[in-house]
Chains A and B, each alone.
Chain A
Amino acid sequence: AAGVIQSPRHLIKEKRETATLKCYPIPRHDTVYWYQQGPGQDPQFLISFYEKMQSDKGSIPDRFSAQQFSDYHSELNMSSLELGDSALYFCASSFRDFNNEQFFGPGTRLTVL
């Protein structure tokens, strides 16, 4: 069965650079979630989209922005990168029903030097 695809899987950037992370949800899933997991920490919710509209927002820095496109894929744009942005970024998708089963992608490991 198709799973959530994230690209790239690994990304190395310098401070103050920008990065774009992409997420391709499972076909027919209409909701995408982004989570950030710092080293040794639990995943923290950043933002979610339902039918291309932002549905919820967590502790996402103002330097970050995200959107969901007409084909339901999503991109997380990160600017003015800081060392503290080094983390594993997960995307999850779901079909917005009451069972709330989120399927996670393999994650993108971002390293900021």
Chain B
Amino acid sequence: AQKVTQAQTEISVVEKEDVTLDCVYETRDTTYYLFWYKQPPSGELVFLIRRNSFDEQNEISGRYSWNFQKSTSSFNFTITASQVVDSAVYFCALSGAAGNKLTFGGGTRVLVKP
């Protein structure tokens, strides 16, 4: 069975601070995909990033960056220089090679204060 754990339920920061969201996953698949989604108060799920299990290269995309470490089964996500519009619930998700359904973590609510 697949499992995704986001230990942080809520993080509160002041604008321009960096925010790092933790994600730990469990899977028996050797090939899998990891995702981060953002859910603003309006409710829609916004795709942010995707990584496959063969690519541990960490990247930066604008103010977003991620740290994928297969050895510790972690896929952490960082927002640099946070803004009020970043306030949302962030979900880490996992899909395996079979079925492709997404297993979500419990989400981390990020509150960015002006």
A residues bordering B, Cβ < 8 Å?
31, 33, 35, 41-45, 48, 55-56, 58, 88, 90, 92, 94, 96, 98-104, 106-107, 109
B104 touches A56 (CB 8 A): no
Chain A residue numbers with a CB within 8 Å of B103 are 45
A42 touches B105 (CB 8 A): yes
A48 touches B99 (CB 8 A): yes
Instruction: Jot down 13 A-B pairs with beta carbons below 8 A, ordered by A.
Output: A41-B106, A42-B91, A42-B104, A45-B102, A48-B99, A56-B101, A58-B101, A88-B43, A90-B45, A94-B100, A101-B50, A104-B37, A107-B43
Chain B residue, CB-CB nearest to A44: B104
Chain B residue numbers with a CB within 8 Å of A58 are 101
A31 touches B91 (CB 8 A): no
> How far is B52's CA from A106's CA once the two chains are assembled, in angstroms?
25
B44 touches A43 (CB 8 A): no
A31 touches B43 (CB 8 A): no
**Shortest distance between the CB of B46 and any CB in chain A (Å):** 8
Chain B residue numbers with a CB within 8 Å of A100 are 33, 95, 100
Chain B residue numbers with a CB within 8 Å of A44 are 104
A104 touches B45 (CB 8 A): yes
Chain B residue numbers with a CB within 8 Å of A31 are 100
**Extra contacts besides A98-B97, A106-B43 (19): CB < 8 Å:** A33-B102, A42-B91, A42-B107, A43-B45, A44-B104, A45-B103, A56-B99, A56-B100, A56-B101, A90-B45, A96-B100, A99-B52, A100-B33, A101-B47, A101-B50, A102-B47, A102-B102, A106-B44, A107-B44
A104 touches B47 (CB 8 A): yes
Chain A residue, CB-CB nearest to B104: A42
Chain A residue, CB-CB nearest to B92: A42
> How far is B101's CA from A4's CA once the two chains are assembled, in angstroms?
17
**Shortest distance between the CB of B50 and any CB in chain A (Å):** 7
